[in-house]
Chain A
């Protein structure tokens, strides 16, 4: 069941020009991935080789809209499931930064890390 699955990869859908994405979410994504002991994948919506996969991820697992918000952060699990973790806050970059801080100090992360170690 759930206890047997483990985090496999963290994916962030982003764009280089987005201040919510770079450097904020890349930096925090690295911290999160490191804490979970998994690789980080960046999908840039402006790159031909990554844009389609980014759109697919957002449509299938994230917050889809005709003109969707970025960044969007996803955690892939060993059982094949993909969990949407975070979407940038449209109000202000500082609000997205606060969301990252909360996520990195959350009970969910502590539990997930314990599970990953166990």
Chain B
């Protein structure tokens, strides 16, 4: 595979997402779904039971930055494709010492130039001209591939653009779609909506704590947030 060689088991294990709660939508635990695609690495979608996406990540061992390939894959799954913007893709290089002893040993023996890179896709909630807050949603139990869309959870427009049904209304247990593998539904309810427990926001910024302005460059949002 061009640019990447997938993700060997020790690294895959080290990068699997543990328990997490929904990002600034509800306090329910996220379901982590692994997606298969034409790319060799590990895709993980974190979404709450209502189908609100906290973050999508793609991890790969390789010699090049996979961001463009990740963007291409996401554009195939997003409706509309304009949902996938470069500024919403954020890169992180993962090194052996931070990934635990097994991954550290594995990476120490890896060929030179091979690096673990993770690309995160996080779309922040935003309010439109109508004042309604919209979020990234995913419908992934009724399709061969996930369908990402933007809407207002709980409203009439919170439906999958492909099947016209709310994403939370999943298939009966035990009948997963091909291409999608739900790995875990955490039973532990963690988090209290405390910003300190929230994942990184724009440049790691929790929205609730965001100052009114900053002197550093912040990309213009598609629509006004807050």
Which residues does A use to contact B, with CB under 8 Å?
A: 14-15, 17-21, 45-46, 48, 51, 55, 62-71, 84-95, 98-100, 102-103, 106-109
- Expressed in whole angstroms, the minimum distance between the Cβ of A23 and any Cβ of chain B is 10
- Type the 1/0 row for B179-220, where 1 means its CB is closer than 8 Å to any CB of A: 000000000000000011111111111100111001111110
Cβ-defined partner of A15 (8 Å) among B54, B122, B204: B204
- In the complex, which residues 100-159 of chain B have their Cβ closer than 8 Å to any Cβ of chain A? 100-101, 104-105, 108, 120, 122
Interfacial chain A residues near B101, Cβ < 8 Å:
102, 106-107
Which residues does B use to contact A, with CB under 8 Å?
A: 17-21, 46, 54-55, 57, 67, 86-101, 104-105, 108, 120, 122, 195-206, 209-211, 214-219
State A92–B193 Cα separation when bound (angstroms): 13
Interfacial chain A residues near B89, Cβ < 8 Å:
65
A19 near B104 with CB under 8 A, answer no
Interfacial chain A residues near B104, Cβ < 8 Å:
102, 106-108
What DSSP secondary structure best describes chain A's contact surface?
Answer: loop
- Expressed in whole angstroms, the minimum distance between the Cβ of B193 and any Cβ of chain A is 13
A86 near B204 with CB under 8 A, answer no
B219 near A66 with CB under 8 A, answer yes
State A86–B96 Cα separation when bound (angstroms): 10
- Expressed in whole angstroms, the minimum distance between the Cβ of B42 and any Cβ of chain A is 13
Chain B residue nearest to A83 in the complex (CB) = B95
A65 near B90 with CB under 8 A, answer yes
What DSSP secondary structure best describes chain B's contact surface?
Answer: mixed
Cβ-defined partner of A91 (8 Å) among B46, B99, B100, B203: B46
- Expressed in whole angstroms, the minimum distance between the Cβ of B213 and any Cβ of chain A is 10
- Expressed in whole angstroms, the minimum distance between the Cβ of A93 and any Cβ of chain B is 6
Interfacial chain B residues near A18, Cβ < 8 Å:
200-201, 203-206
Interfacial chain A residues near B199, Cβ < 8 Å:
89-93
Interfacial chain B residues near A90, Cβ < 8 Å:
55, 57, 90, 92, 120, 122, 199-200
25 contacts between A and B (CB under 8 A): A15-B205, A18-B205, A18-B206, A21-B204, A46-B214, A63-B92, A63-B93, A65-B90, A66-B87, A67-B90, A68-B90, A70-B203, A85-B95, A87-B93, A89-B200, A90-B120, A91-B17, A91-B18, A91-B54, A92-B18, A92-B20, A94-B197, A95-B20, A100-B98, A109-B97
A86 near B98 with CB under 8 A, answer yes
